[in-house]
Chains A and B, each alone.
Chain A
Amino acid sequence: MTETLSLSAPAPPAGLGAALRRAERPNRLRAFALALPALLFLVVTFAAPIGLFLTTAVRNPEVRAVLPQTIAALDGWDGHSTPGEEAFIALAADLARAKEDNTAAALGKRLNYESAGMRSRIMSVVRHLGNFKDGALAPQFAALDPVWASPDLWAVIKRNASPMTPYYLLTSVDLGQDASGGIARVEESQAVFLDILGRTLWIAGLVTVATLVLGFPTAYVVSLAPSRIAGFLLLLVLLPLWTSLLVRTTAWVVLLQTDGVINQALLALGLTTEKLQLMLTRFGTVTAMTHIQLPFTILPILSVMKSIPEGQMRAARSLGAPPFFAFWRVYAPQTLPGVAAGCLMTFILSLGYYITPALVGGPRDQMMSNFIATYINRDLNWGMAAALAGLLLVMTLSIYLAFLRLVGAERIKLG
Chain B
Amino acid sequence: MFLAATTLAYGLALGAAVAAEPISVMSFGGAYQEAQRKAVFGAYAEETGRPVSEQEYGGEIAKIKAMIDSGNTTIDVVDVDAPTLLQGCDEGIFETIDWEKIGPKSDWLAGTTSECGVGTIVYATILSYDEDKLATPPTKLADLFDLANFPGRRGLWKNPATNLEFALLADGVAPQDVYATLATPEGLDRAFAKLDTIKKEIVWWEAGAQAPQLLASGEVAMTTAWNGRIFNANKEGRNFGIVWDNQILDSNYWVIPKGAKDMEGSLAFIRFAVEPKVLAGIAKYIPYGPVRTTAAAEVAPEDAKNLPTSPDNLTTSLTLDNAFWADHGDEIRKRFTTWLSN
Contacts and interface: CB of A to CB of B under 8 A. Distances in A.
Does B bind A?
yes
Interface of A: 99, 102, 104-106, 108, 112-113, 116-120, 123, 188-192, 195-196, 199, 257-259, 280, 362-364, 371, 379, 381
A374 to B, nearest CB: 8
7 contacts: A102-B93, A112-B330, A116-B331, A118-B327, A199-B341, A379-B329, A381-B330
Interface of B: 87, 90-93, 158, 203-204, 217, 219, 323, 326-331, 334-335, 337-341
B341 A113 contact: no
Contacts of A259: 217
A190 B328 contact: no
Q: Which of A118, A191, A192, A257 has the largest count of B CB atoms less than 10 A from its CB?
A: A192
Contacts of A116: 327-328, 330-331
A190 B330 CA distance: 10
A363 B341 contact: yes
A192 B326 contact: no
Contact of A190 (B203, B323, B331): B331
Contact of A191 (B331, B338, B340): B338
Tell me what chain A mostly uses at the interface: helix, strand, loop, or mixed.
Answer: helix
Given A117-B327, A363-B341, A108 B217 contact: no
Given A116-B331, A119-B327, A258-B219, A102 B338 contact: no
A104 B87 CA distance: 11
B335 A190 contact: yes
B87 A105 contact: yes
A108 B90 contact: yes
A380 to B, nearest CB: 9
B340 A104 contact: no
A249 to B, nearest CB: 15
B330 A379 contact: yes
Nearest to B90: A105
B276 to A, nearest CB: 30
Contacts of A199: 341
A123 B90 contact: yes
B180 to A, nearest CB: 13
A190 B334 contact: yes
Contact of B91 (A102, A112, A363): A102
B90 A104 contact: yes
A188 B338 contact: yes
A113 B219 CA distance: 38
Contacts of A191: 338
A48 to B, nearest CB: 23
B323 A120 contact: yes
Contacts of A118: 327
Nearest to B331: A116
Contacts of B327: 112, 116-120
Contacts of B87: 105
Contacts of B329: 379
A118 B90 CA distance: 13
B36 to A, nearest CB: 26
Nearest to B329: A379
A123 B327 CA distance: 11
Nearest to B219: A258
B92 A195 contact: no
Given A117-B328, A259-B217, A280-B204, A192 B334 contact: yes
Given A119-B326, A119-B327, A362 B204 contact: yes
Nearest to A186: B334
A364 B341 contact: yes
